Each structure stands twice: as structure tokens, then as C-alpha cells.
């Protein structure tokens, strides 16, 4: 299995005195633990704030490199995955942009803001992935997408919120991949057995991982 993703060719990403580096979303991660140390929408609250935010542009990637990448790894299973910025996601990217506390509060208190933000995130990944799929001309086997839906003891947010805000956006991504005969691999940390039927019905072909340790506790307690 070999991960590939088009190289970034967009505006220069800023480096800061603490060693953190800006990514295409203007999120910054610390250089030691790779955790988000600056969330660019942490003070945003309105649709105007979303409109004024400089969203990443699909033009910031060089899709012309994809055919050579596929040929280079033609003896492997070729998977689309680009790390923190290149993994197709919805909730996870929202958390990165807003911060965990604000994201959890906005889901309940500012749903219009969340809906618009998730649609913008989804639109970006839809266009990036479509361009990758077109450039690959059938040489991609699967795409690794992901969202951390679980804690060690259960879901991070309710199934109702997932079905309202997240699943419709994920389904757009799954459907796009399947139109190009590309399998969907999906990652989520945590104990998410409650929503595995939902994920399979949405179109997930391979789920990674399942929280085996906690599931055993549930079975044998």
C-alpha cells in the first residue's frame, strides 16, 4: 500500500517564532507534538466571518504529478491520503479550524455557522479529490478518509448530530469516489460501534480501526 497526494504549490506557508508552521487552512501545529496551537476560526461566529475567511484553493496543488506517482507505485495498492491537510474529513477539520470547545458548543448553539463551514470544507475536498481522480485515469485503488467520532467510551457527539451535520457531507465524498470505482477506506478513533451500520450504509468499504479493547469490555462486563 502506498499513499500519494499532489504536492502543494500554493502561497508560501508562514513559519513562526515558536517553530509552528501554517498549513493551507491557516491552522498552526506545534513542532513537537503536531497538535493544533492556533485555530483560525476560534473567534468566528457568523456567516460573514465564514465568507471573509480565506479558504484554501484546490488550485494550490499540482495534479500533473499524479500520473507519475501512480506509475511509480504500480506494484502497490495506491491510496489517496495527504496527512493532516490532505485527508478528506468534516468534523475533524472543523475542530482544527475552531478549536474543540468552540466546535462542540457551535454544534448546539450555532448550527447555521457549522452547516456553512462543513459545506465549505466538503466543497474543497470534493474538488481536490475530483481533480486527483481525473488525473489518475483509473490507477487509484482507494482513498483514505477519516473523522475522529469516538472517545474511549463512546461517541464524541450524538448520532443525531452526526446525521444532521456530518454524514450528508461524507456521503458526497463517498459517492464521488465510487463514481470513479475507487474504494473508500475510513478511519475513526474511538468506540464507534453504534454508528458502524450508518457508515456502511453511507458507502464505507473499509473501516479502520475498531476499538477492540472497549468492545470486549462491553461484551464481557
CATH number for the domain spanning 115: value is 3.20.20.210
CB–CB of 7/61 below 8 Å? yes
- Give CA–CA dist 2/117, Å, rounded: 31
User: Pairing between strand 206-208 and 78-80?
Assistant: unpaired
Mean pLDDT, residues 46-53 taken together: 96
Q: How confident is the model at residue 212 (pLDDT cuts 50, 70, 90)?
A: low
Average pLDDT over residues 98-126: 97
Q: In the numeric block, which cell numbers belong to residue 37?
A: 496551537
Range of lowest pLDDT (71-85, 160-174, 192-206): 71-85
* Full strand arrangement of the beta sheet holding 206-208: 2-4, 78-80, 142-146, 183-187, 206-208
Q: Which domain holds residue 134?
A: 2-220
Phi, psi of 57 (to 5 degrees): -110, 130
Domain count, the chain: 1
pLDDT value, residue 143: 96
Amino acid at each position: 500500500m502506498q499513499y500519494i497526494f499532489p504536492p502543494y504549490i500554493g502561497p508560501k506557508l508562514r513559519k513562526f517564532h515558536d517553530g509552528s508552521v501554517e498549513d493551507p487552512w491557516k491552522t498552526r501545529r506545534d513542532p513537537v507534538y503536531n497538535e493544533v496551537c492556533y485555530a483560525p476560526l476560534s473567534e468566528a461566529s457568523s456567516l460573514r466571518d465564514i465568507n471573509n475567511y480565506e479558504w484554501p484553493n484546490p488550485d494550490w496543488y499540482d495534479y500533473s504529478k499524479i500520473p507519475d506517482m501512480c506509475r511509480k507505485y504500480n506494484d502497490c495498492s495506491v491510496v489517496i491520503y495527504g496527512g493532516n491537510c490532505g485527508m478528506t474529513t468534516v468534523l475533524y477539520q472543523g475542530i482544527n479550524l475552531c478549536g474543540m470547545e468552540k466546535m462542540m458548543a457551535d454544534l448546539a448553539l450555532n448550527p447555521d455557522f457549522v452547516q456553512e463551514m462543513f459545506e465549505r470544507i466538503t466543497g474543497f475536498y470534493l474538488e481536490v479529490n475530483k481533480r486527483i481522480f481525473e488525473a489518475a485515469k483509473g490507477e487509484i485503488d482507494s482513498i483514505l478518509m477519516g473523522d475522529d467520532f469516538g472517545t474511549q467510551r463512546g461517541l464524541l457527539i450524538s448520532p443525531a448530530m452526526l446525521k444532521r451535520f456530518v454524514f450528508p457531507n461524507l456521503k458526497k465524498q463517498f459517492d464521488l469516489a465510487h463514481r470513479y470505482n475507487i474504494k473508500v477506506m475510513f478511519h475513526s478513533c474511538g468506540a464507534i460501534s453504534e454508528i458502524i451500520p450508518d457508515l456502511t450504509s453511507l458507502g464505507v468499504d473499509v473501516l479502520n480501526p475498531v476499538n477492540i479493547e472497549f468492545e470486549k469490555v462491553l461484551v464481557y462486563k
